[in-house]
Structure 1
Amino acid sequence: MTLVLLLVVAALAFPWIVVAAARRLAAALPPKEACAAIVSAAVLAAGGTGAALFGLAHVPFLAGLERLTLAQVTTEWPAALPVAVLAAAVMAAQLVLVVRRWFEHRSLLARAWADAADAEADGGLLVVPGEGPDAFALPGRRRRPGAIVVTRAMLRALGEEEREVLVAHERAHLAGRHHLLSVTVYLAAAVHPALRSLRPVLDFHLERWADEAAAREVGDRRLAAAVIARAALAGSAAKSRRGPLLAVSSGPVPQRVEALLGPVPVRPEAASARASALGLVLAVVTCAVAAVAVAYGLHEYVELAAEVIRAR
C-alpha cells in the first residue's frame, strides 16, 4: 500500500515538473515553437493526472475482475473505498469545471459576434463605433469565418502604415487559431492547479508570434514595435472587459517591444535545444509512467488481496 500511495503522490506531483520544464523550453524557442511546447505539456500533464485518478477510481472494478467482493478488499485495504470515491469525486469535479469553462468560452464568443452585428465592413475589417481604441481577432462561429474587429477610434489613432501592422497582427491570431490554443490550456488547467501558471506564459508567446508575423509582413521591425506598443496599451482596458477566453491578452508590452527591436528569433543552439526538449520529454514520460504505475500497482494489490483471502 505504501508503494501505491507513493506512486499516487508522484503522478499528481509531476505536472509541477512538467510546467517548469515547459516554461524553460519555451523561453529558448521562437514564439511559434514555444506555443507548441506549452500546449503539448499542458495536454499531456492533464492526461497523466486524469490517468492516475482513473486508476484510483477503478479499485472496485479491479476487485470485481478477481471475483472479490468490495467487503473482502476493504478488509485487506481499508482505504480502498475512500480513495476510489475521492478519486471519482475529483474526476467529476474536473469534468464539471472543464464543461463549464468550455461553455463560458462559447458564450463569450456568441456575445462578441452579437456585439459586432452592426459593424460596417471596411476592407476586410469589421468597424464598430466606439470612443475607445480597440482591435481584436474574432474567431469564426457557425460557419462564419473569423474577422478582425476594430473601433473607429483605433482607426483614427493610427496612420495607414500603422494600420497595416495592426491588421497583420490580428490576422496572425486568426490564421494560427490562437484562441483554440489558449482555451486548450485554460481547459487543461481545470484538471491540475500546476497548469494555471502556463496560461499567461502562453498568452505572451501567442502575442509574440503575432508580433513577429506582423513585422515580417510589413518588413519593418521598428515600426511594428511602435505600433504594437501604442495599440496594446490603448486597447488593454477593452481587452480586459472582453474576458480571458475570447482573445489573448496584450501581454507584457515592454518585453514584446524589446523583442521586436532586437534580432529575428532563431532556434537556439542544437545542444541547448536538445537539452531543454529532453527535460520536457523526460518530465512528461515520467508523469505518464507514474500514472500507468498507479493503475498497475492497484491491480497488483487487488491480486495480493485475492491470494490472502483464498489462503484463509
Structure 2
Amino acid sequence: MTLVLALVALALVLPWGAAAAARRLAALLPPREACAALTGAALLLAGGTVAALIGLFHVPFLAALEQVPLPRAAAEWPATVPVAAAAGAALALQTVLVVRRWHEHRSVLARAWSATGDAVPDGDLLVVPGPDPQAFALPGWRGRSGRIVVTTGMIRALDPAEREVLFGHERAHLAGRHHLLSVTAYLAAAVHPALRSLRPALDLHLERWADETAASSVGNRRLAATAIARAALAAASTGQPGKGHGPLRSVGSGPVPQRVEALLRPAPVRPRARGAQAAAVGLATAVAVSAVLALGLAYGLHEYVEFTARALLSG
C-alpha cells in the first residue's frame, strides 16, 4: 500500500511542475498555440487530480464489493478510513467550487444579456449610450449570436482606423470562443491550487491572440498597438475594473504594456528553439505521467482489495 500512497502523492504534486512547464511553453509559442497548450494542460491535470482523489475515496466501496468488512480492510491498511474521508472531503469541496464558479460564469452572461439583449445591434456591433469608454465581446446566449458591445464614450475616444482595430480585437474573441477557454482554466483552478497560475497566463495569451488577429485584419501592427493602448487607457480612466476575467473579454484586460510591446515587434512565428522543444517535452511528459499515475493508482487499489479479500477467505 506504500506504493499506492507514493503514486497518490506524486499525482497530487506533479501539477506544480506541469503548470510551470505549461507557462514556459506558452511563452515560447504564438498566442493561439499558447492558449491551446495552457487550456489543455489545465484540463488534463485537473482530470488527473480528480481521478487520484476518486481512487482513494472509493477504497471502502471496493472492499464492500469484494465482501471485505471495513474493520478488516482498516486492519490491513489503518489509513483506509481517514484517507478516504479526506479524499471525499476534497472532492466535495472541489465540486462546490466548480459549481459556484460555473454559476458565476452563467450569471455574468445572463446579466450582460439582460442589460443589452433588447437593443438592436448593427450586425454584430451594438453601440450603447454612455460616457464611460468601455468595450467587450459578449458571447452568444440561449440561441442568440454573440455581439460586440461598445459605448459611445469608447467610440469618441478612438479615430475611425483605431475603431476598426478595436472591433477586430473583439471579433477575434467571439470567433475563437475565448470565453470557453477562459472558463475551462477558471474551473480547473478550483480543482488544484497549482493550476491557478495558468489563468493569468491564459488571459494574457487570449488578449495577444485577439491583438494579433486585429493587427492582421488592418495590416498595420503600429496602428494596432496605438489603438490597443489608447482604448485601454480610455477604459482605465473611468476607474472601473476592466472586464476580461471570465466570459466577457475586453481590450483593456491583461498587461497592456507587454501586449503593445509585442505588437511593435514582428508577427510571432512558431519557434524551433531548443527551449520550446524542451518545454513541450516537459509538459507532455508531465501530463503523460499524470495519466499513468491515475491508471497505476486504480490498478494498485484494485490489487490491494483483491489481496485483502483473498487473505480474508484463506483466514
TM-score, normalising length: structure 2: 0.94
What is the correspondence of 1:90-101 to structure 2 with a 5 Å cutoff? 90-101=90-101
- Once residues 242 and 33 of structure 1 are traced to their aligned partners in structure 2, the CA distance between those partners, rounded to angstroms, is 23
User: SS where residue 309 of structure 1 aligns?
Assistant: helix
Shift of 1:267: 0.5
Shift of 1:69: 1.4
Of 265-274 and 140-149, the range deviating more from structure 2: 265-274
- Once residues 242 and 128 of structure 1 are traced to their aligned partners in structure 2, the CA distance between those partners, rounded to angstroms, is 16
Q: State the AA in 2 paired with 1:12.
A: L
User: SS where residue 149 of structure 1 aligns?
Assistant: strand
Shift of 1:302: 2.1
Shift of 1:309: 3.0
Shift of 1:276: 2.2
Residue 256, structure 1, aligned to residue 241, structure 2? no
Residue 12, structure 1, aligned to residue 12, structure 2? yes
Q: State the AA in 1 paired with 2:22.
A: A
TM-score, normalising length: structure 1: 0.94
Shift of 1:94: 0.9
Of 207-216 and 4-13, the range deviating more from structure 2: 4-13
Unpaired runs of at least 5, structure 1: none
Residue 240, structure 1, aligned to residue 241, structure 2? yes
Of 289-298 and 27-36, the range deviating more from structure 2: 289-298
Q: State the AA in 1 paired with 2:25.
A: L
**Aligned residue in 2 for 1:267:** 270
**Aligned residue in 1 for 2:121:** 121
What is the correspondence of 1:12-51 to structure 2 with a 5 Å cutoff? 12-51=12-51
Does structure 2 conserve the Cα–Cα contact (< 8 Å) formed by 1:182 and 1:248? no
Does structure 2 conserve the Cα–Cα contact (< 8 Å) formed by 1:118 and 1:128? no
Q: State the AA in 2 paired with 1:310.
A: L
Deviating runs (4+, > 6 A) in structure 1? none
Change (3 A) 1:168 1:213: same
- Once residues 10 and 132 of structure 1 are traced to their aligned partners in structure 2, the CA distance between those partners, rounded to angstroms, is 50
Q: State the AA in 2 paired with 1:55.
A: G
- Once residues 239 and 137 of structure 1 are traced to their aligned partners in structure 2, the CA distance between those partners, rounded to angstroms, is 17
Does structure 1 conserve the Cα–Cα contact (< 8 Å) formed by 2:138 and 2:249? no
Alignment partner for residue 280 of structure 1, among 276, 283, 287? Answer: 283
| Percentage of pairs with the same residue | 66
Shift of 1:271: 4.5
Shift of 1:299: 2.1
Does structure 2 conserve the Cα–Cα contact (< 8 Å) formed by 1:25 and 1:277? yes
- Once residues 50 and 61 of structure 1 are traced to their aligned partners in structure 2, the CA distance between those partners, rounded to angstroms, is 17
- Once residues 264 and 188 of structure 1 are traced to their aligned partners in structure 2, the CA distance between those partners, rounded to angstroms, is 31
Q: Deviations over 1:92-140 (max 9, x none)?
A: 2211211111111111101011222454534642111111101100001
- Once residues 239 and 210 of structure 1 are traced to their aligned partners in structure 2, the CA distance between those partners, rounded to angstroms, is 22
Of 215-224 and 231-240, the range deviating more from structure 2: 231-240
Residue 163, structure 1, aligned to residue 166, structure 2? no
Q: Between Structure 1 and Structure 2, how many residues are aligned?
A: 312
**Aligned residue in 1 for 2:58:** 58
- Once residues 239 and 19 of structure 1 are traced to their aligned partners in structure 2, the CA distance between those partners, rounded to angstroms, is 31
Q: State the AA in 1 paired with 2:271.
A: P
Of 287-296 and 276-285, the range deviating more from structure 2: 287-296
